[in-house]
């Protein structure tokens, strides 16, 4: 093809048709430019198609992770609320207040003091996007902002969980010194104890005497307070996940 155009130009020059030659040359240049632009456009279309596929794959994977994150956090919130409610009943019996009718009733409430449902979300795909700098593959700015703020919300939840764990450690100290773990084990619901029960304590001890200790009352209050703080952060996290899920669903449909 190039030889063909070159032959035409040579013939025009040999025939001394300079004007036609320049017009032809100009037309040829325009055709070449159009060809280059067309090739660039095709390349851009191909790149855009690849990027769209990558974005769609990212949206699907993020949706799967945050569906899981929502279900697990919602379940943990329910357990946290139940624990707080049961823990609070203990404060109705401390000091000179009426005692629980049975030790078993009290031991069930005490077990709730050591209950902490730790949240373990799926963050692998999001972290890969963040660490590789590929979060920009998502076109929706609002979605990118929400995803970028997720880790800070998760850090807040983890910080509050550690505060609860610190108070639970203090409760353990009291139980080691003044209470009976074997009595608590009788009302435990975890399989490691229900499948192979341990014997009752050989000491004549009733855990209700812990209600006379101001240290026990204070520790119980601190556990409840810290659990309420965790619950606030958990609910904020659930709200954010809900927003992220809605944005992901919208982007996937488009």
The whole-number pLDDT of residue 185 equals 83
**Would you say residue 19 lies in a domain?**
no
Q: How far apart are CA 240 and CA 246, in angstroms?
A: 10
Secondary structure element (H or E) that encloses residue 214, with its range: helix 214-253
**Would you say residue 65 lies in a domain?**
no
Tell me the pTM.
0.79
- Locus of tokens 């764990």: 165
**Would you say residue 31 lies in a domain?**
no
**Would you say residue 157 lies in a domain?**
yes
Domain of residue 205 covers 70-253
Q: How far apart are CA 147 and CA 240, in angstroms?
A: 9
**Would you say residue 234 lies in a domain?**
yes
Both tokens of 152, joined, read: 């800070």
- Locus of tokens 């855009």: 48
**Would you say residue 36 lies in a domain?**
no
The whole-number pLDDT of residue 55 equals 87
Decide: 59 and 252 in contact? Cβ < 8 Å: yes
Nearest residue to 113 (alpha-carbon basis) of 233, 226, 197: 226
**Would you say residue 12 lies in a domain?**
no
Number of domains in the chain: 1
How would you write the pLDDT of the chain (254 residues) with one tens digit per residue?
444 445 555 554 455 455 554 555 556 666 666 766 666 666 565 566 667 788 899 999 999 999 999 999 999 999 999 999 999 999 999 999 999 999 989 998 998 898 888 999 999 899 999 999 889 899 999 999 999 999 999 999 999 999 999 999 999 999 999 999 888 888 776 665 667 778 888 898 999 999 999 999 999 999 999 999 999 999 999 999 999 999 999 998 87
**220-247 in b/e burial notation, b at 16+ Cβ within 10 A?**
bbbbbebbbbbbebbeebbebbeebbeb
Length of the chain: 254
**Would you say residue 170 lies in a domain?**
yes
- Locus of tokens 């320049």: 22
């Amino acid at each position: 093809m190039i030889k063909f155009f070159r032959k035409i130009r040579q013939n025009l020059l040999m025939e001394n048709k300079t004007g036609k030659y320049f017009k032809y040359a100009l037309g040829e240049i325009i055709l070449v430019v159009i060809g280059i632009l067309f090739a660039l456009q095709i390349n851009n279309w191909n790149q855009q198609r690849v990027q769209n596929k990558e974005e769609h794959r990212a949206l699907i994977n993020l949706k799967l992770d945050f569906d899981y994150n929502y279900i697990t956090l919602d379940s943990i919130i329910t357990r946290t609320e139940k624990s707080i409610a049961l823990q609070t009943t203990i404060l109705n019996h401390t000091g000179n207040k009426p005692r629980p009718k049975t030790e078993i009733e009290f031991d069930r409430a005490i077990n709730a003091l050591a209950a902490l449902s730790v949240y373990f979300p799926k963050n692998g795909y999001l972290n890969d996007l963040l660490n590789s700098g590929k979060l920009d593959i998502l076109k929706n700015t609002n979605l990118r902002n929400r995803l970028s703020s997720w880790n800070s919300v998760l850090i807040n939840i983890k910080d509050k969980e550690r505060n609860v764990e610190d108070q639970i450690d203090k409760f353990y100290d009291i139980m080691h010194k003044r209470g009976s773990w074997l009595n608590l084990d009788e009302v435990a619901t975890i399989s490691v104890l229900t499948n192979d029960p341990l014997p009752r304590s050989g000491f004549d001890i009733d855990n209700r005497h812990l209600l006379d200790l101001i240290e026990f009352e204070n520790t119980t209050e601190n556990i409840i307070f810290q659990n309420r703080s965790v619950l606030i952060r958990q609910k904020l996290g659930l709200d954010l996940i809900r927003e992220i899920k809605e944005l992901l669903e919208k982007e996937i449909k488009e």
